[in-house]
Amino acid sequence: MSARKFGNVGSLRQQITVAARQTRLELSTDAVVIHKSGVEFRSPVPFNLWTEMTVALQSPREESPIQCSGVVIACSGNKHVGYHVSLLFTGLSKNAQSRLNSMAYSELGAV
């Protein structure tokens, strides 16, 4: 992941959806950090490295969510405190990348 953090996702709607084959998480915005090339989030369940996932990010200014695909590049923690998962976006369309950049710079206040 890039060291450049876009900021918190307080301006996003209340939940972020993260899904892998048989797991679907509805995450609150305070559990997600958006980076230039992916996201990090807290999860009650672990994910194997290289697990493919999809993420739906919803901006309050747009009706349709941004659909992003990625792979898990790190997962640490345990069942008692939860897991910290890092997801790297892969194959973003130009439209999705543009919308993500627009959302990050205008609404999230890039650092």
pLDDT averages per 10-residue partition of the chain, 111 residues? 41 61 76 80 92 82 82 96 94 84 57 38
Could you tell me the sign of the dihedral formed by the alpha carbons of 21, 15, 101, 35, in that order?
negative
Task: Establish if 78 belongs to a structural domain.
Answer: yes
Could you give the C-alpha distances from 8 to 33, 39, 102, 108, 111, in angstroms and in order?
A: 6, 11, 15, 6, 10
111 within a domain of the structure (yes/no)? no
Flag whether 86 is in a domain: yes
pTM: 0.72
- CATH assignment of the domain containing 43: 2.40.10.220
Is residue 42, in this structure, part of any structural domain at all? yes
Say what the pLDDT of residue 103 is.
66
Q: How many CB atoms lie within 10 A of CB 37?
A: 16
pLDDT at 57: 79
Looking at residue 7, what is its pLDDT?
A: 43
Which structural domain, as residue segments, surrounds residue 71?
Answer: 5-106
Q: How many domains does the chain have?
A: 1
- What is the structure's pLDDT at 49? 96
